[in-house]
Every structure is written in C-alpha cells, then in structure tokens.
Structure 1
Amino acid sequence: MTDDADLTAPELVDVDLRAADRADATRQLARRLADAGRVSDLERFLADVTAREEQMATGVPGGIGLPHARSSAVTVTSLAVGRVVSGEGVDWGAPDGPANLVLLIAAPADGEGEHLQVLAALARKLVHAPFRASLLTAPDAAALAGIVLREVCGR
C-alpha cells in the first residue's frame, strides 16, 4: 500500500500494551511511529488523532480500537498495533466493550486516498473472527506484523 516502507513492522507492534486509557494507548503507539521516523512531530500527530477521536469514537465491534488521522507530522502511511494485556482492555467507545487490539493508522496530510485504502482493508479483515484471533494469539511482534502485511497488504 505504501511504496516507501511497509505499512507496519515489528518495531511498530506492542504485544504487551498496558494503558490507562485510550489517550495513553494512542501515545504509546504514536511514540513507536515517532521512534521509527514515521512521525516527525509526536505532539502534532497526537493532536490530530485526538481531534479525529472527538468527532466520533473509533471503537469497533470485536474488541478493536481503530484510531486514525491524516497529519502533516506523518512522513509515510503507517500502522502501529497494540495488543492489550489480557483482561486489561481499553475503552474505545465500542458498543460491545473495551478494545483488546488497538490499530493506529497514521497517514500524511495529503494522503487521503491511501488513508482510506488502509482503513477499508483493515475493516474488511477485522470483521472476521479468525483474523482477529490470529492477531491476539501471534507469539511476538514480528509474527503479528507479518500477519498484517500478509492479510491486509497482500505481501
């Protein structure tokens, strides 16, 4: 989906995410994007994600938090993934309860098409329980990133 880099990578995945709330979870995942050079201004990006979340909560059925934003602070469309520690779900505003998986989509400000492409591809996969289960049971960050690249990006 992105020519410059894979959508995600092991360093963008936290398989033991512990977060007090959605803002904390988002900050931890955004920090991974910044550390990997995919976000140039962490605070700007977080403000853009927060503004998007204020429009409508991005919790989706199946225990998923799907925060996303286009931002001038994003250098390449990316996906950071957090698997919340068992039993410590994060409230993302979904009608069926807290999120066990958080998928943070970051896209450049001028990347509306790519942003929507990633969002749609993820949404198509996340409705399937076996896909969600594969993310929840992946043994490590590399395996989880590999599942996303194979199943969502076709790589």
Structure 2
Amino acid sequence: MPNYINRAEKVIENIYENGYINLVWRSMDRKEICLGKTYFNNIRYNKGIEVIDINKCSYNMVEMDCIELLYKVNKKNSSVDIERLCKIFCEFESLNDESYKFILYMLSYPYSLIKCCTKYMKEKDSDKEKHYMDRFNKAMKLDSNSFV
C-alpha cells in the first residue's frame, strides 16, 4: 500500500514541477474544448469523424480528453501501448513534451485504489469487509500501470 501512496504523491509533485501551469495557459490561449464524453460510442464516421453527443463539452485542456479515453482503454485492455498512443495524440494535437508527461503522470495516479480506500474509511462496515477486499484487489490490478 505505501507504494501507491508514494506514487500518488510523486505524480502530484511531478505535475506541478513539469509545467502544469503552462499547459493551463496554453489551453486558455487556444480556447480548447473537451468532449467530456470520450469513448468510441460517442463518435461515428460519416464523410469524416463526427461527435454524437456534445452535452458534456466544456473549456478544458485537450489532454483531459486523452487521459479519460486512455484510462478507459487501459481499463479494458492493459496490454495496449499507452505511451505510444499518448505520443501519437500529442503529435496530432501539436502538443509538446510537457503535455506528454502530464498525460502519463495523470494516468499513473492510482485513482481506483484511492477511491476504494476512501470509501472503506468512510463506511468502516465490518459486514462489507470481503466486498471491499475484492474491490481493493481489483483496484490494485487496475492501477498497476505506472509511467512515473
């Protein structure tokens, strides 16, 4: 468990030390918009790529859409080369190395494990201990990838 806590702290530290504020400024200057709903069931091809549902669109860094999509893809198939997909995305969007690192750092944060532990600490129901152990083990597997 301490390994995940150390990783979470290192991810947060790396994000702030490696140009996060610059990414926010670039995003504002370019007036970037994120889909918010990033998965393959929200796009279609009809003489070009079309977005089906734009209700979740908002101003945000384009990296956030990439992070959300790659997180879902990795969750379904952990054998996918996330670093390669991240590099391709950054090239396509004309993003620099700060963006590449930011995406990988965000994907390295152990979200599932932290979420599971937080829920367990809030509820502390001994009747659900097995349920939480199952969720905890699943979260550890899901959060096993680290690019830090």
Where is the helix percentage greater, Structure 1 or Structure 2? 2
Which protein is bigger by CA-based radius of gyration?
A: 2
Tell me the TM-score normalized by structure 2.
0.27
Tell me the TM-score normalized by structure 1.
0.27
